[in-house]
Copies of this chain bind each other. A is one copy, B any other.
């Protein structure tokens, strides 16, 4: 090993911003908050209310579910196809009740907790083509999924506020 690659490897190992264990907790904290935002919506407005021609929050949540479930398996295995049972991809239609969506949400939460420790070491720094379309480092792919959730959840906050409903506090991740 020459000096350059030694330095490069050292740099990689001595400057982690966050560990994988802590990052899982960060992600699940966001998922807990999003779950509270789903709960805060009245059933009808969850499916039908929108502003500026945007999608109702139910459809935004189905996007989150349809990305996270195949996403965590793709991160683990490199297989980015739809989940087959329940059928889940970014085009999956919302089930008819908030209760069913919350059940799906909780199923995905369990999948993430189960799969996370099985993700191969150093997987996050690999490059992959997420969902067969988006080539990037695996850490960037996962950050994108979470950022997308925060982005749409923030929009859900505006829906709630404009309905006169106080959303959960942004810092509440318990």
Contact status B158-A54, CB under 8 Å: yes
Of the candidates B22, B23, B161, the one whose C-beta lies within 8 Å of that of A54 is B161
Q: Is the beta-carbon distance between B54 and A147 smaller than 8 angstroms? A: no
Please tell me if the beta carbons of A17 and B15 are within 8 angstroms of each other in the complex: no
Min C-beta distance of A26 to chain B, whole Å: 6
A26 touches B140 (CB 8 A): yes
A152 cross-chain contacts in B, Cβ below 8 A: 154
Chain A positions 119-152 with a Cβ under 8 Å from a chain B Cβ: 121, 124, 137, 139-140, 143-144, 147-148, 150-152
Tell me the interface secondary structure of chain A in the complex: helix
A12 touching B18 in the complex, CB below 8 Å, given contacts A52-B162, A154-B151 = no
- Which residues on B sit within 8 Å (CB–CB) of A164? 52
Query: Of all chain B residues, which has the CB nearest A151?
Result: B154
A21 at the interface (CB under 8 A from B): yes
Interface residues of A in 44-102 (CB under 8 A from B): 51-54
- Chain B residues within 8 Å of A28, by CB: none
C-alpha spacing A114/B164, complex, angstroms = 43
Q: Across the interface, which residues of B come within 8 angstroms of A16, CB to CB?
A: 12-13, 15-20, 124
Q: A-B pairs with the 10 shortest C-beta distances?
A: A16-B16, A154-B154, A52-B161, A52-B162, A151-B154, A17-B23, A150-B150, A158-B158, A15-B20, A18-B139
A residues touching B (Cβ–Cβ < 8 Å)?
11-23, 26, 30, 51-54, 121, 124, 137, 139-140, 143-144, 147-148, 150-155, 157-164, 170-171
